[in-house]
Structure 1
Amino acid sequence: MTTPVKRSYHGCVRCKRRRQKCDEQKPSCGRCSNAKVSCEYKITLKWNGRVPREGKSSSQEGRDEFTFDVQSGFGKSSQYESVLLHEQSWGRKTSAPSLNLQLEQPSPALTKTSRQLLHHFITETSKISSSAHIRDQICQTILPMTHQSDSLLYATMAFAALHRYTLLNELPAQFMPEDLVANLIASSMRCLRRDLETPGYPVQPLLHTIRTLCHCEIFSGRANSSWRVHVNGAGAMFNEIASRINFNESEYSFWLWSRWFWSIQALTATTEVGKVSELASANSAIREDDQSYFFDTYTGYSSDLNIVLMEIGLLMHREEATDLDTESRKSFSDVEEKSDQLETSIRYMIRRDADFGLKFPGDVLHDPDMTVQFQACNTAYQYASLIHLYRRVKCLPSFTSEVQGCVRAILDAVSAITPVTTLSPWILLTTPIFTAGCEAVGQDRKLVKELLQELYFTLHIRNIIRALEILERRWEVYDRSRPSIVGYVDEHMGGSIDEVNSADWLDFIPY
């Protein structure tokens, strides 16, 4: 009796299509090698479904198509916290909209906790996006990369675990990642170092590992310099891949990463510590010139604002002249001229986008309500950049009409973004709200506090609570110092910045 040929579940595309047994050798199986044809491994991932039941052997579990049940619960927190994750047992299958994913090696089964974390990322954490379009692109183009990258898998699960822990607690009692999150981040970093030393390792998973790790560090609310390590690493990676002739920058996953990269560089420039990488300051004008600007749905503002923010950051953190010699006077004159040019540029952007509307990329479609919300978000960022210019470069007092006018414009724009939901521009507003809050007085402070609290209880990002904590400390210092200076605020954000930022670890970015 003839033995029937069994279909290969982990075999290459050609063997599956021909219903032949595949030896699953890499990079080319025996049948394809003999036929001298290209050998390709793919797996189809589907949205929704059921989490595989416990009790199956790892071999049987590996044969099943792995899917997540969007309706299923995450499990009790005690069980969640007690599960130990071992690097050897972590697999790579994930859930996403139907798509094909190239495989480079056989995939072991995921542990129960790994599946739960990825499930949480897809159903909850991924909603912390500016729109459904961005969320879908992340799930379709980036999440499947965890199949081929341990470092990205660990980073993704760390991000999901951080978000899950925040959901379990109404308000964070601390700003240090829980042990599970810290261990996942450490494992991701260890694998990332290994992958960076591996010749020919795919670039895209490395880029998104760095981006995800940076999000973990910032969203944890620790407010130390750990997030800058990843920003600097992103700059180094960008510098390296920019020299590759065959690198395809049109890939959507790289588009998402580059939008994050230029935005994080720009926002980093306007923090207290500042520091714009030489790469960013040298190449931003080439990549973001006004002729090719567009509204960036990932960041929530028109792309050419990144140039302005970086330029403001460079002026904010310039070396102060000690003697008013001829060179110093020239330097101050140059700064004043440059700051006037930047103010003119920002005012032009505000008028342009108000008169002509946002310039969306051709492949991005939004309903009218979402467009109005993005317009408001864009306006909030533009006025936030004016506040940085007025306060940190032009050194205008906080109580001036120019500064307070920007505060009011930001709060009016933010208040127009309703209803408050995930998968909307609401996720992007921590930066402008915090910037306005630094200069807010009277009832505006109360509104800032309400907005940040509402933002936190919608998104569950610890960095938002950290932002509010820092603002309240600033307000306290400002109010305590104001009587002694007869209505004139101290330089920078009001009050003594050294007193507010007395802790060595404080390196905050309102992201």
Structure 2
Amino acid sequence: MLKNTVKRSHHGCTRCKKRRQKCDELRPGCSRCIEAGSECSYAKALKWLVAPRKVAKKKRELTTSERCYDLSKSTALTAPLISSRAAKTGYQVPPVEMTLSKEIDALSWLPLSSRSLLHHFVNKASRITACHAYIQTRICRLIIPMALQTPSLLYATMALSALHRSTLIDGMPTNFDVDALVSSFMASSLQNLRHELQSKGGVSKYALLTTIRTLCVCEIHSGRADAGSWRVHVEGAIALLGTTRAMSDTSSSEDRESQWLIDSWYESIESLMALTTRRGLSPAQTEQFGTRALLREDQAENRHLDIYTAYSTDLNNSFKEIRAAAWERQQLNANGGKEIVLSNLDLDEEADWLESSIRSAAGNSTFRPNDLQVLSQHEVQQFEACDETYYHTALIHILRRVRGLPRSDLRVQASVKRIIECCLKITPADGLSPWVMLTTPLFTAGCEALGEDRAMVRQLLQSMYDSLRIRNIQRSLWILEMGWSTKEDSDDWESFFGQDDFDFIPY
């Protein structure tokens, strides 16, 4: 029997809390659970405010200078918004129960403004980064407890939340600038991230990768499209992933869940980055894999419609193969048809193979059994419609950039119209729907649209922005309006984006 000398604690294991029993808090299992032969876990029940409560005026908020911690003053970093009491708690990884409540216990050490931003992230901002409630739940259950122990991720999460909330409240700034609060959070996140990367232990590599992902999403969603902004985060992820995947032990539950999120995000953003005309493949990709040998081949049994990205996983490699072929076509044209690696005939055969493989795969995607269990029939149809838009996105890039066909070609225009038709099948929503993933196909269709189809693309993108409030959607429409206002005979895809200091991804 457990001795009566054990003091009552507010930090006991889940089983003891539910039974209202004293817990000696021994790890990995307390005495009561061991004696009962029960599983022992220390899940934190995070409770979120339904609405921010008023606070006394004497409780001042932290200033910008306090939030932006100066790394030069200390080598042992403690984030300004995290108390020493919380920082001492070891990061455990049981499933996190997330409930809405007017009570706050686990987050009482955070300022009210920070709790409000985390509440907004869980209930609003995370909706626009997820295609389904199941995905949103997995993301929040992973990110929130991890952020409470990783200063860089906490700041990055609050930056993304603040960006979305400010766009909801203040609307779209004409110059795509972000407000001072968002900039401050991002600066603090980067400062903490640099320190955590240099730290020899104590911070999970996957926590750092989750920070990089969040910063990248925040940069892209801001719509600034500055050279070296979002792309530097992707290239940083490439380098960190190299060391992380080399580690032998990633068997812990938090690492497995983190790996799911990072792998899904990274494989998608890397392939979509390859389609951008300004730089396409990153230097690390080109150096490691060359322009032709691009990462691993997707085996047929692993191909599925991923409900994180809302398109089939085989397209990730297809997009990179298309980029490699488009780059070679561009080099061949720049050299007046003089062969460097491949001839025009070689590239025509490559285009035949790419187009044939895309057309044969379109409409034949399947879901993983576990994903089908959480989808209704209506949701399945919406995901399938979104998936088809990405196959036609691939076709447009093949026809225009690899084959070099004009915009007016019937096959190009057929794919434009099909993208629009599929987008119209997807119900507009404020998140948790494939609707959030339509920026890429709609922008691609808009680049090639003619006549009334341009008006339809404009209407759909505006509807997306109105429901999601992602600034990058407005940036997409702004770029298209610029392209549409130029002369109709301007038919060069590669020069569509303009200046070298502008780096845009329709994401």
TM-score bracket, normalised by the shorter chain, equals 0.7 to 0.9
User: Does 2:37 align with 1:8?
Assistant: no
Asked whether the 8 Å contact 1:455–1:464 carries over to 2, the reply is yes
Question: 228-237 or 275-284: which moved more?
Answer: 275-284
Using the alignment, how far apart are the partners of 1:157 and 1:53 within structure 2?
Answer: 20
Asked whether the 8 Å contact 1:46–1:97 carries over to 2, the reply is no
User: Which of 488, 498, 502 is 1:501 aligned to?
Assistant: 498
Partner of 1:334: 346
The alpha carbon displacement at 1:84 in A equals 7.6
Question: 293-302 or 277-286: which moved more?
Answer: 277-286
SS in 2 for 1:173: coil
User: Does 2:277 align with 1:285?
Assistant: no
User: Does 2:331 align with 1:360?
Assistant: no
Using the alignment, how far apart are the partners of 1:327 and 1:257 within structure 2?
Answer: 39
- Residue type matched to 1:118 in 2? L
> 1:453/1:196 Cα in 2 relative to 1: closer, same or farther (>3 Å)?
same
Q: What CA deviation, in whole Å up to 9, does each residue of 1:151-192 have, x standing for no partner?
A: 100000000000011001233322122111111111111111
Using the alignment, how far apart are the partners of 2:251 and 2:28 within structure 1?
Answer: 24
User: Does 2:224 align with 1:222?
Assistant: yes
- Residue type matched to 2:311 in 1? Y
- Residue type matched to 1:331 in 2? S
SS in 2 for 1:423: coil
Using the alignment, how far apart are the partners of 1:313 and 1:249 within structure 2?
Answer: 36
Asked whether the 8 Å contact 1:149–1:205 carries over to 2, the reply is yes
Partner of 1:111: 111
SS in 1 for 2:183: helix
Asked whether the 8 Å contact 2:220–2:472 carries over to 1, the reply is yes
User: Does 2:315 align with 1:305?
Assistant: yes
Partner of 1:62: none
User: Does 2:145 align with 1:147?
Assistant: no
Asked whether the 8 Å contact 1:156–1:212 carries over to 2, the reply is yes
User: Which of 320, 336, 348 is 2:360 aligned to?
Assistant: 348
User: Does 2:438 align with 1:429?
Assistant: yes
Asked whether the 8 Å contact 2:428–2:467 carries over to 1, the reply is no
Asked whether the 8 Å contact 1:350–1:379 carries over to 2, the reply is yes
Asked whether the 8 Å contact 2:153–2:208 carries over to 1, the reply is yes
Using the alignment, how far apart are the partners of 2:10 and 2:51 within structure 1?
Answer: 19
Using the alignment, how far apart are the partners of 2:58 and 2:43 within structure 1?
Answer: 23
Using the alignment, how far apart are the partners of 2:371 and 2:476 within structure 1?
Answer: 35
Q: What CA deviation, in whole Å up to 9, does each residue of 1:259-305 have, x standing for no partner?
A: 1100001000011121242457756334x223310111111101001
SS in 2 for 1:284: coil
Partner of 2:261: 256
Among all aligned residue pairs of Structure 1 and Structure 2, give the percentage whose two residues are the same amino acid. 40
Question: 425-434 or 203-212: which moved more?
Answer: 203-212
The alpha carbon displacement at 1:14 in A equals 10
The alpha carbon displacement at 1:427 in A equals 0.2
Asked whether the 8 Å contact 2:362–2:391 carries over to 1, the reply is yes
User: Does 2:263 align with 1:267?
Assistant: no
Asked whether the 8 Å contact 1:157–1:184 carries over to 2, the reply is yes
Using the alignment, how far apart are the partners of 2:44 and 2:200 within structure 1?
Answer: 25
SS in 2 for 1:110: coil
Partner of 1:243: 246
Using the alignment, how far apart are the partners of 1:196 and 1:171 within structure 2?
Answer: 34
- Residue type matched to 1:268 in 2? M
> 1:325/1:135 Cα in 2 relative to 1: closer, same or farther (>3 Å)?
closer
The alpha carbon displacement at 1:243 in A equals 1.1
SS in 2 for 1:478: coil
> 1:328/1:205 Cα in 2 relative to 1: closer, same or farther (>3 Å)?
closer
Asked whether the 8 Å contact 1:272–1:507 carries over to 2, the reply is no
Partner of 1:197: 198
> 1:89/1:126 Cα in 2 relative to 1: closer, same or farther (>3 Å)?
closer
Using the alignment, how far apart are the partners of 1:20 and 1:292 within structure 2?
Answer: 45
Aligned pairs for 1:363-402 (under 5 A) are 363-364=371-372, 365-402=374-411
The alpha carbon displacement at 1:505 in A equals 2.4
Asked whether the 8 Å contact 1:265–1:280 carries over to 2, the reply is no
Q: Indicate the structure whose relative CO is greater, using CA pairs within 8 Å and at least 6 residues apart.
A: 2
Q: What CA deviation, in whole Å up to 9, does each residue of 1:377-409 have, x standing for no partner?
A: 000010011111111111100001011011001
- Residue type matched to 1:320 in 2? Q
The alpha carbon displacement at 1:477 in A equals 1.3
Asked whether the 8 Å contact 2:419–2:442 carries over to 1, the reply is yes
Partner of 2:493: 492
- Residue type matched to 1:400 in 2? D
Partner of 2:422: 413
User: Which of 74, 82, 102 is 1:90 aligned to?
Assistant: 82
- Residue type matched to 2:208 in 1? L
> 1:49/1:216 Cα in 2 relative to 1: closer, same or farther (>3 Å)?
closer
Q: What CA deviation, in whole Å up to 9, does each residue of 1:219-260 have, x standing for no partner?
A: 000112310001101111211111112123982331122111
Using the alignment, how far apart are the partners of 1:195 and 1:15 within structure 2?
Answer: 34
Using the alignment, how far apart are the partners of 1:328 and 1:97 within structure 2?
Answer: 56
Using the alignment, how far apart are the partners of 1:4 and 1:256 within structure 2?
Answer: 44
Q: Count the aligned residue pairs.
A: 457
Partner of 1:157: 158
The alpha carbon displacement at 1:430 in A equals 0.4
The alpha carbon displacement at 1:12 in A equals 7.3
Asked whether the 8 Å contact 2:49–2:119 carries over to 1, the reply is no
SS in 2 for 1:352: coil
Using the alignment, how far apart are the partners of 1:283 and 1:392 within structure 2?
Answer: 18
Please report the TM-score for the alignment, with normalisation by the length of structure 1. 0.80
Please report the TM-score for the alignment, with normalisation by the length of structure 2. 0.80
Using the alignment, how far apart are the partners of 1:415 and 1:12 within structure 2?
Answer: 49
The alpha carbon displacement at 1:501 in A equals 1.3
Asked whether the 8 Å contact 2:306–2:312 carries over to 1, the reply is yes
User: Which of 305, 312, 325 is 1:295 aligned to?
Assistant: 305
> 1:88/1:15 Cα in 2 relative to 1: closer, same or farther (>3 Å)?
farther
